[in-house]
Amino acid sequence: MGGAACERVRWYFTDMPYEIHEKKGSQPKDKAPAPAEDPKRLAEFEARIARDETIEPKDWMPERYRRQLVRMMSQHAHSEVVGMLPEGNWITRAPTLRRKMGLLAKVQDEAGHGLYIYCGTETLGVDRHDLIVQLLNGTAKYSSIFNYPTLSWADIGTIGWLVDGAAIVNQTMLAKASYGPYARAMVRICKEENFHKRQGYEIVATLARGTPAQKAMAQDSVNRWWWPSLMMFGPHDKDSPNSGDLSKWGIKRKSNDELRQRFVNLTVAQAKAIDLTLPDPELRFNETTKDWDFGAIDWDEFWRVVGGDGPCNRERLAARRKAHDDGAWVRAAAEAHAAKHAAHRGAPSGAAA
Amino acid sequence: MATTGDTAHPLWEVFTQPPGGGPHEHAGSVHAPDAELALQNARDVYTRRGEAVSLWVVPSGAIVASTPEDMGPFFDPGNDKAYRHPQFYKVSQGVRVF
Ligand SMILES: [Fe+2]
Ligand SMILES: [Fe+2]
């Protein structure tokens, strides 16, 4: 792993494992080490994990478990929100009304996914507002895949097929996470992701059997998105020491490499079925392992994008800030409306803050 | 950077009743300045595909919940009353009760 550039970065976030990658031997930059836990309570907690019990918000949990969840879940939520931007770009340019309706619905789902997970994160005692401020001021991380540009209509198909496809592999695992609110949000999300993947695959398949120019557009798109999609699963297991806690405490039940392999195995046949190739000359079926072996991933590129130097990092944040600011009047209007109606009834608006 | 709103909006717990007569179930939460908007937000977030025929929103602060520490003593009285379960009662072999 690595290069000098990534030595600077102490906490890493990569993609769909929506996970914090901590460089070996380093401390989180802005947090004191988690306090030592009462060994008896810790043992009880770990026994519950071993019995596959679900941990709920009011249950005792180690501070490090709580912190890992807050970070992982909030980064996951941010990724859903930022994930709307590359696709939102193409809503006005969708080639047919059918495609436009599908894309609008998908992007709306991603907003919903963000809200499901923010809501889950709030059960750990954080305020969504603080998380949103962290996203907008650039201190929070989100999935690097969304820092790549959508250059052609085919990219919308490829994102649904490969990016949502990779997300499904990961989120299916997270639906069995030990923390109840996270697992339940994942179950809800997984139901919707199948629509995302199928609409994407349909777009790519349609282009692939279209004119030579359309097919070339689809192939070019797959060529650009394939490797970033594999990077979504995060570094190799041997370079991902933080995964230890996450798997020990049942948050992640499969490793980055296992999930990546599963994704490759599923995708090879899907590409073949629509007569597109995956841009990896080393891709071949391994008779012994029954897996598809694949070539080396360019981790330098990966760390560059994680570190903020991807093609669209700045543009994404600027777009997100603008959307938030442009929405200020809606929030203000909602408050004014609520206050007016409360005054009418001569009573406060009901909810305890 | 303006971050108006958001945090001032109270939290509401959302319950959805699926079609087919099941009970209302907890779905998640939303932020909204009042009940009317909480209902609209809950509809947009939790019922995009006909998941519900009825929605409840409840101010989160209004929910009274048992605590994990209660677990043992609070629920215990149920566990030692085996006579509340059908298996407690003997039936001659070969007789179908149901
Ligand atoms: Fe999503
Ligand atoms: Fe999706």
Q: What DSSP state is assigned to residue A225?
A: H
Residues of chain A positioned with their CB less than 8 A from the CB of B49: 192
CA of A85 to the centre of ligand 2 (A): 12
Torsion of CA B32, B35, B40, B44, to 10 degrees: 60
| Identity at B14, one-letter amino acid code | V
Q: What is the per-residue burial (b if ≥16 Cβ within 10 Å, else e) of A6-29? A: beebebbbbbbbbbbbbbeeeeee
> Which is more confident, B81 or B27?
B27
> Which is more confident, B72 or A179?
A179
* Sequence-separated (6 or more) residues with CB below 8 Å from residue A229: A145, A162, A163, A165, A166, A263
pLDDT of residue A15: 32
Query: How far A328 CA sits from the closest chain B CA (Å)?
Result: 6
A353·B67 Cβ contact <8 A: no
pLDDT of residue A80: 97
pLDDT of residue A32: 65
pLDDT of residue B80: 76
Residues of chain A positioned with their CB less than 8 A from the CB of B37: 334, 337-338
Is B90 touching A (CB cutoff 8 A)?
no
pLDDT tens, residue by residue, B79-93: 778 888 888 888 888
Strand partners, A12: A21
Please tell me which of the candidates A119, A127, A137 has its beta carbon nearest to residue B7.
Answer: A127
**For testing contact with chain A, the best of B15, B45, B67 (most A CBs within 10 A):** B45
By C-alpha distance, the chain B residue nearest A187 is B27
B48·A349 Cβ contact <8 A: no
Task: Check if the interface score ipTM surpasses 0.85.
Answer: no
A112·B37 Cβ contact <8 A: no
Query: How far B93 CA sits from the closest chain A CA (Å)?
Result: 36
Q: What DSSP state is assigned to residue A307?
A: I
Which residue stretches of chain A have pLDDT < 70?
1-32, 241-242, 347-353
Distance CA B86, CA B59 (A): 39
Q: For helices A63-82 and A97-122, what crossing angle results, to 10°? A: 160
A98: tokens are 């059918």
Say how many residues make up chain A.
353
Chain B residues 2-31 within an 8 A CB cutoff of chain A: 2-12, 28-31
Q: Helices in chain A by DSSP H: which ranges?
A: 4-7, 39-50, 63-82, 84-88, 97-122, 128-136, 153-158, 164-174, 180-208, 212-231, 243-248, 256-273, 299-304, 313-326, 328-345
Chain B residues 28-57 within an 8 A CB cutoff of chain A: 28-38, 44-45, 48-49
Question: Rg of chain B's alpha carbons, rounded to an integer?
Answer: 21
* DSSP-based three-state secondary structure for B80: coil
Indicate the burial class of A84 (C-beta count within 10 angstroms; 0-12, 13-18, 19 or more): buried
Query: How far B55 CA sits from the closest chain A CA (Å)?
Result: 16
DSSP-derived pairing of the beta strands B25-31 and A291-293: unpaired
Distance CA B66, CA A53 (A): 18
* Sequence-separated (6 or more) residues with CB below 8 Å from residue A329: none
Is residue A106 a contact partner of residue A160, using CB atoms and an 8 Å limit?
yes
B59: tokens are 């101010």
A352·B59 Cβ contact <8 A: yes
Instruction: Compute the Cα dihedral for A60, A63, A65, A71 and give only its sign.
Output: positive
Place of tokens 């031997």: A25
Please tell me which of the candidates B6, B36, B37 has its beta carbon nearest to residue A132.
Answer: B6
pLDDT of residue A347: 55
Q: Residue B17 — φ and ψ, nearest 5°?
A: -105, 120
